[in-house]
Amino acid sequence: MARINIQFTLFSAFYSPLIATMAGGFLREEGLEPEWSVAPAGVSALAALEDGSADVVQSALSQGFGPLERGETPATTHFAQVNEMDGFFLTAREPDPAFSWRKLEGADVVLFGGGQPLAMFKYACHRAGIDYSRINALHPGGAAAIDGAFRDGQGTYVQQQGPFPQQLEADGVGHVVSQVGPVIGTCGFSSLAAMPTWLETDMAAAFVRAYRETRRYLDEAPAGEIAAVEKPYFPAIDEAVLANCIRTYQQLGCWTPHVEITRAAYEATLDIFAYNGLVTKRHSYESVCTPPPAG
């Protein structure tokens, strides 16, 4: 089998469309043996494409905006979508069936300190009609540090991707009160990126065939079945918790059947980054995205 090197920017059940290509054996069915890694903190997974240590990475369309804002042509291209909606949850200390985003004003909220997670959260606050500047934002670090901070008593609310919130609930530490995705709506949240030359290879075509099959599987299979398949990738998460998380993402609709990055999703992402002052012009779809190779 040919080895394919895959790198994640963040590793969570939200990225099951890529995780399940490995866990479900879809890549092996195409003659590909996956090796995977997670980008070091503070390092873009796109760097692994450029230095040749990865063939495919889980990234975000917004990663293409930085070079374009500097007047440069991105070396990499985004060829398929992973999630068409923000996958973060808001978890509170206590159950709150009457939760409204207005309750975040004046509260201590443990958040990611920058990048796309914070940009999306600020835009969600805008869409919810609240003032982000009135939130007491706590930024302890990455996903593990955020989870640890909330478990240690920091914050009244916490922003996390699954399955962290579901594990908090199972452990009696917190209660999910809202999701960020429905407040924002459809957007190009996360994507798969590669070097343009790699997309011309037989390996790329085989990968896309496996990826299309994986997305159909995620839409059709019961959450419990998917959780059982993915459990080895989440040794610290209870299988029932993982199933609950996957079921929630299936219901959210972030794992649409198509693999293509739509222009509508791309434009919505531009809107979000323009609101945050992170882009100065409407960069063209073609400057960031490429259609997936024919399978």
Q: What is the rounded CA–CA span in Å between residue 99 and residue 233?
A: 33
CB 293 within 8 A of CB 204: yes
Model pLDDT for residues 109-128, shown as the tens digit of each residue: 999 998 899 999 999 999 99
- Report the chain's mean pLDDT, rounded to a whole number: 95
Q: What is the rounded CA–CA span in Å between residue 129 and residue 150?
A: 25
Q: What is the pLDDT of residue 294?
A: 81
In DSSP notation, 226-243 reads HHHHHGGG-TTS-HHHHH
Q: What is the pLDDT of residue 295?
A: 61
pLDDT band with cut points at 50, 70 and 90 for residue 146? very high
Q: What is the pLDDT of residue 194?
A: 98
Q: What is the pLDDT of residue 235?
A: 94
Q: Is the pLDDT of residue 35 over 80?
A: yes
Q: Determine if the peptide bond prior to 67 is cis (ω within 30°).
A: no
Model pLDDT for residues 177-188, shown as the tens digit of each residue: 999 999 999 999
Q: What is the rounded CA–CA span in Å between residue 68 and residue 19?
A: 30
